[in-house]
Chains A and B, each alone.
Chain A
Amino acid sequence: MMTDNILEIRNLGVRFQTDTGVTNALNDVNFDVPRGKVTAIVGESGSGKSVTANCIMRLLQPPGKIVSGSIQFNPSRTEPFDIVAIRDRDPRIYELHGGLISMVFQEPMTALSPVHRVGNQVSEAILCHRDVSKEGAMAEARDMLRRVGIPNIDTRIEMYPFEFSGGMRQRVVIAMALVCNPEVLICDEPTTALDVTIQAEILTLIKDLQAELSNSIIFITHDIGIVAQIADYVVVMYQGRVLEIGTVRQVLKDPLHPYTKGLLAAIPGNVPKNVRLSTIATAVGDADITTPFPLKSVGDGRLVSLP
């Protein structure tokens, strides 16, 4: 990958220091997020997907701490800055949250306030970031809610989140995230809590809005099916490290790292019926997936952590 990246993550290290010991949640994480594309971060629980997202959003909470590395925002354009380096009081943090980068979480009910009307919650994001009147903000919120497919806007906008279905709530969260037209949208398992039919609707919505607004998306998921359908690029993570980077076709059709091969072999949909599923452990076999080999380029823009 090269040229126009919206984010460049270099040597990112995160450590969790607790009473029971030290965990290195991220070790020397390196990847780029190309502008205007969908980059999927895929991995199992504990692989560091969400920690990476929290670092980009500057949402990492103690005992987690960034111990090394940089996250360059907008490196190829004017006013680039390192997200890791800016101070907590820096006004750019404020601008970052929801203005430049915003996030859609797994469980929409936790991302929405239960005691505020939906219209107010979406317009609040506009009032935070831009100098517009309340009425102007509400008009924009209404427009955004319409674009994410909320029907009967006039009544819906006055309702509370608990009056919405799971899929409709997630649409509201997406409206909140996109209403300030951020450069980067991070989706952290946004469809895991939803039915497969609603998931399909939300994925279609995210794809359509991305085509329309051409923002850059980081899509965090453990579901290879979703990766295949939505991503342009894939970053495979395991135990706080990046094991493989490539286009979606490269990684899913021709995986190079034994762990990636194992991950793909463990999916029921990828295996004929009556054939025993591989677990990652059996698929990986004797291959060494724990030694942190640095990523090396293997041509066609692909990177893989192999000796």
Chain B
Amino acid sequence: MYRKCNLLIISTILLLFYNDTICQSSIIYQPATTNYSYFPDNILIVRKRLDRDLKEIPNMMRKGIGKEYDIRARDLIQKLEAKEFMSDSIWLGFFNGILNEIYKGNPGIPRYEINMLIGRYEPANAFSIGEGSIVFHLGLLPYLSSESEIAAILCHELAHYQANHSNNFIKEYYDFLYSEEIQGRLKKISRSGYNKTARVMEIMKNMMYDNSRHGRYKELEADSLGLIYLKNTRYDSYSCLTALEKLDKIDSVTWPLIPYKTLFDAPQFPFNDAWLASSKSSVLLAQGSIIDDKWDTDSLKTHPDCINRIAAIKRQMGQPTTGRLNLLEGSPFEVFKQNSSYELVEGLMDANEYGRSLFRALVMLKEKPDDIYLKSAVGIALYQIYKHQKDHNLRYILSLPDPDFTEEYNRYLQFFNNLRLRDLSKMGYYYCFNQLEPYKTEEYPMLALALSQKMINQEEAFQQQKNIFLETFPNSKLIFYLK
């Protein structure tokens, strides 16, 4: 349906959305809507594609490869059922508008086989699943600067699909495992009585290095084909270089220091500096380090370094085209970019990932200290952390500090791990009361205020506020929080 929209209609909708968002963002951000029929429609598409793909597998390989296809499809269906993708027509219109521009310049791309999915996920990533779905993570948007950079990334993923990389990878994997040589070696190891693990590990190591090497080659191939696609559009082809340069720096992006004391100090319940104490639990970690000399991590990379990719693209590019950075009318890119951070907070809440949602909301509050939506999101997430801790389910929503996490995220985890339940309940209650009381007639603040009553066991006050909420917002998607 969205693929048939013409650019003008999309642009008009986007323009309206743009103005609407600007008006509302000065009051309270309104998250994107959920189109409930979008998900069953897409599940049907995935099932049809699975049937199509299974028929194309040669008989002798159907069992092994078919199983992999089936796992892949079921995983995607599960995510669609959990509504992990944006279904708002305005958001879909924005991405499909960019896709339409790519299709227009590249009629060879089988556009009706492609299904654009916008994942409500944090990691800055995009990928082609292999059966026709292209997934673009919301978490990638804040790092980009223009529509043409989105177009460059989509062209790369379309190239993966066109070259059938994903399906070829599965086939190569099975060809390797079932090859006479490998089966013979495995049989020999199985019969011997010693060092089995090390010997099988050697086979695994070679296989993984081999796969990684092929993976790197395929990335370069997709870059090359993706560039051809991009050059055929009216977008600026140089954007595939700027997008890669940004991707290269994503790992070094640091989160700002969250001012916990400023946020949670309340006259009724003063902040205790001891809550910020660092843990002794990483004493060993501070002194030890993982020794693993068996694996060459460079050889395991499936993507070549961005620097090498940039060099290869530069060689291929020759003279950059003089395309445009933004084509959609009203240039709504910046609004979508800005809103993507809000949508990530909302998406994480919808996915019950309250720990991450709270972290992102706290990070955003540093830039927007008066934002009522973010304050409400903090209040709702604080209640969820309280509830999960009380029920001994904290592990489902809050991680333990981990050396693989950023320093600021570990500081955040440590802070909430240090809080006793009784401190968390009072801190959460007074935060909501002091920050949201003036906005208690609005949807999100009203919910946060109602939940804060539960944190201090004021059941009667909670019931009262719950009833008011149900009367005021009978169709709110937030009602399930009150059940």
Q: Do A and B come from one complex?
A: no
**A residues with CB within 8 A of B:** none
